[in-house]
């Protein structure tokens, strides 16, 4: 056998051996559509449901209408600027509440329009009807607030944004 033929055969065998070693490393011949159905998660534990009893109202508890009248706007009065107590409980142990009266209208649609503008501006507002001298007025309020300072800060924001002169009202039981 000639030396040229021997070199070609040895070269072909070396290339074949390299192909058998390198090709499986470069290419993954596993089936890509094969799905592994084995799970490594442990089985779910057995948990017994716990029954919670519903809270019952004590038999001796009295019905109190104090909270219903807490934010009664009809009993609100303008806050005096000299009061140094801006939050906490009053003499009847009720929380002091502050609301802003932003506007008063004879037509309900105008009051509803202002209320919607305030809500769109991010203020919690509501409309309440009030009878004054046999006329019905629709008053727009913002609040309630538990702190007079926050009510005053909100008053300034509302006055600037809506060009009004809101009144800070304090709830008087």
Enumerate domains of the chain plus CATH numbers.
Answer: 73-171 (3.30.70.1070)
**Residue 40 confidence (pLDDT) above 50:** yes
What is the dihedral angle through the alpha carbons of 100, 103, 104, 109, rounded to the nearest 10 degrees? -120
Question: Residue 29 — pLDDT band, cuts 50, 70, 90?
Answer: low
**Residue 83 confidence (pLDDT) above 60:** no
**Residue 64 confidence (pLDDT) above 70:** no
Greatest pairwise CA separation for the chain in angstroms? 130
Question: Residue 11 — pLDDT band, cuts 50, 70, 90?
Answer: very high
**Whole-model pTM?**
0.49
Buried b (16+ CB within 10 A) or exposed e, 31-41: eeeeeeeeeee
**Residue 107 confidence (pLDDT) above 60:** yes
Question: Which percentage of the chain shows pLDDT scores above 70?
Answer: 76
**Residue 42 confidence (pLDDT) above 70:** yes
**Residue 136 confidence (pLDDT) above 50:** yes
- Is the Cα dihedral 155, 156, 157, 158 positive or negative? positive
Name the β-bridge partners of 89. Answer: 95
**Residue 171 confidence (pLDDT) above 60:** no
Could you give the CA distance from residue 98 to residue 154 in angstroms, rounded to a whole number? 11
For the sheet with 135-145, list strands across it.
Answer: 76-78, 167-171, 98-105, 135-145, 125-132
Q: Which residue has the higher pLDDT, 109 or 73?
A: 109
């Amino acid at each position: 056998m000639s030396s040229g033929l021997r070199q070609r055969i040895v070269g072909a065998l070396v290339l074949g051996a390299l192909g058998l070693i390198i090709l499986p490393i470069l290419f993954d011949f596993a089936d890509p559509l094969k799905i592994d159905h084995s799970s490594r998660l442990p089985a779910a534990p057995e948990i017994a449901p716990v029954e919670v009893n519903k809270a019952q109202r004590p038999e001796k508890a009295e019905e109190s209408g104090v909270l219903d009248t807490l934010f009664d706007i009809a009993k609100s009065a303008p806050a005096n600027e000299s009061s140094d107590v801006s939050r906490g409980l009053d003499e009847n142990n009720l929380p002091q509440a502050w609301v802003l009266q932003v506007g008063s209208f004879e037509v309900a649609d105008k009051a509803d329009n202002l209320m919607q503008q305030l809500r769109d501006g991010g203020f919690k507002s509501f409309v309440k009807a009030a009878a004054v001298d046999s006329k019905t007025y629709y008053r727009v309020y913002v609040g309630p607030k538990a702190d007079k300072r926050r009510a005053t800060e909100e008053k300034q924001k509302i006055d600037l944004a809506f060009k009004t002169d809101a009144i800070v009202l304090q709830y008087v039981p």
